[in-house]
């Protein structure tokens, strides 16, 4: 497709469950980013992939959060033992290489995760 696709668009899960959120970047974009946006706040950086490797995962809040990008395209954000505080919109973005000027970042519409 022409844009960044994130699935599902909405996810409701029970506290303690495991969830996976998927991101399909724009074809050919080697850089991929995950952000998290809590209600009323701006997005916060979680992790950045260059190709298959996580170049910077410093934004992941704790070891319950993990992300993979095994073939350098689709990425999955995985959250174990979900907590109510994990409820947020999870945004994915992609860009060509590292896109030094940052105007090539394309964001998806996000996955709204609700932990009940």
Partner 1 sequence: DAKTTQPPSMDCAEGRAANLPCNHSTISGNEYVYWYRQIHSQGPQYIIHGLKNNETNEMASLIITEDRKSSTLILPHATLRDTAVYYCIVRPHQGAGSYQLTFGKGTKLSVIP
Strands (E), 15-87: 19-24, 31-37, 44-50, 53-56, 65-68, 75-79
Site for partner 1 in 21-60 (CB under 8 A): 31, 33, 35, 40-45, 48, 55-56, 59
Could you give the CA distance from residue 103 to residue 85 in angstroms, rounded to a whole number?
31
Question: Looking at 69, 75, 110, 115, which residue binds partner 1 (CB under 8 A)?
Answer: 110
| Tokens read off for 64 | 């319950």
CB 113 within 8 A of CB 19: yes
Site for partner 1 in 68-87 (CB under 8 A): none
Q: Which is nearer to partner 1, 23 or 115 (CB)?
A: 23
Q: Rule CB under 8 A: which residues touch partner 1?
A: 4, 31, 33, 35, 40-45, 48, 55-56, 59, 91, 93, 98-105, 107-110
């Amino acid at each position: 497709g022409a844009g960044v696709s994130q699935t599902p668009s909405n996810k409701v899960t029970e506290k303690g469950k495991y969830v996976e959120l998927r991101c399909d970047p724009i074809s050919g974009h080697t850089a991929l980013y995950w952000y998290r946006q809590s209600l009323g706040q701006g997005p916060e950086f979680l992790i950045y992939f260059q190709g298959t490797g996580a170049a910077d995962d410093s934004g992941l809040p704790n070891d319950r959060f993990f992300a993979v990008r095994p073939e350098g395209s689709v990425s999955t954000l995985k959250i174990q033992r979900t907590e109510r505080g994990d409820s947020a919109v999870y945004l994915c973005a992609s860009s060509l290489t590292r896109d030094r000027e940052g105007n090539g970042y394309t964001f998806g519409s996000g996955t709204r995760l609700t932990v009940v």
